[in-house]
Amino acid sequence: MLFDIDHFKKINYTYGHDVCDDVLKSLSLLIKNTIRTNDLFCRIGGEEFAVITPHTDLIGAIDLAEKIRLIVQNNLFETVGHLSISMGVVQYEHCQKKETLYKNADNALYKAKKQGRNRVISE
Backbone phi and psi for residue 98, each to the nearest 5 degrees, phi listed first: -60, -30
Residue 5 phi, psi (nearest 5)? -80, 130
99 is catalytic: no
Q: Are strands 40-45 and 48-52 parallel, antiparallel or unpaired?
A: antiparallel
Residue count (the chain):
123
**How far is Cα 73 from Cα 43, in angstroms, rounded to an integer?**
19
Active-site choice (47, 78, 99, 123): 47
Nearest to 72 by CA among 51, 56, 58: 51
Catalytic (active-site) positions: 47
